[in-house]
């Protein structure tokens, strides 16, 4: 009798032991699915935040040589001019006035109120000749421009091979996307982009 009672007790306990892993498995799968959803939501928030603050732009052409080379990818800060003003010497990305869907990258030379003069291979702002060690070659063209309010005068560092303000005129400040801050691709050319002050700000 004792043996029968022991066997009955064992048989009665077996369903409880077998049922526990199934319940735990259901709980684990539910938690796993919740973790995935939370991760996707966080990734989406980070993606939107990063895109609101920055842009990634591919340099297309040779107008900014030797500072930037064709095919390089540049990180652009959209926040720079929310908390500060554009300065001479800044390298900026902007919507091309002649085709707003196209983005160009150039260096700011003149601010509103400036008088720009190019002659004898030099660029002058308000009568002050700029020291520009970053250009590919001295400009072979001449001209004078007055920068109106709400406008900028921009030039490529490759002065004689650049489509810029000397060709199509002034850039509306509202077209500026942001300030180029970093070359991030290809990796061997990774570098922080320098923005030398060309002259004291007004």
Which H, E and C letters describe 144-180, residue by residue?
EEECCCCEEEEECCCHHHCCCHHHHCCEEHHHEEEEE
The pTM assigned to this predicted structure is 0.75
How confident is the model over 143-164, as pLDDT tens digits?
Answer: 999 999 999 999 999 999 999 9
Q: What is the DSSP letter of 63?
A: T
Please state, for a pLDDT cut of 70, what percent of the chain lies above it: 79
Residue of 92, 87, 112 lying closest to 103 (CA atoms): 92
Catalytically annotated residues: 63, 106
CA diameter of the chain: 118
How confident is the model over 3-33, as pLDDT tens digits?
Answer: 434 444 444 444 544 445 555 555 687 777 7
| 92 close to 106: Cβ distance less than 8 angstroms | yes
Rounded CA-CA distance 92/106 in Å is: 6
């Amino acid at each position: 009798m004792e043996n029968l009672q022991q066997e009955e007790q064992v048989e009665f306990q077996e369903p409880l032991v077998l049922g526990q892993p199934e319940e735990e498995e259901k709980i684990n799968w539910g938690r796993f699915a919740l973790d995935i959803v939370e991760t996707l939501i966080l990734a989406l928030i980070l993606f939107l935040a990063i895109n609101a603050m920055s842009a990634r732009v591919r340099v297309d052409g040779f107008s900014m040589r030797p500072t930037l080379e064709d095919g390089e990818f540049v990180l652009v800060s959209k926040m720079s001019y929310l908390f500060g003003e554009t300065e001479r010497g800044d390298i900026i990305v902007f919507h091309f006035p002649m085709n707003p869907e196209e983005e160009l990258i150039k260096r700011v030379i003149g601010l509103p109120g400036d008088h720009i003069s190019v002659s004898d291979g030099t660029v002058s702002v308000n009568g002050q000749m700029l020291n520009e060690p970053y250009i590919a070659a001295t400009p072979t063209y001449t001209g004078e421009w007055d920068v109106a309010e709400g406008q900028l005068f921009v030039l490529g560092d490759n002065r004689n091979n650049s489509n810029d303000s000397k060709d199509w005129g002034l850039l509306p400040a509202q077209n500026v996307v942001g300030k180029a801050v970093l070359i991030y691709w290809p990796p061997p050319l990774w570098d922080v982009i320098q923005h030398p002050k060309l002259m004291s700000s007004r």
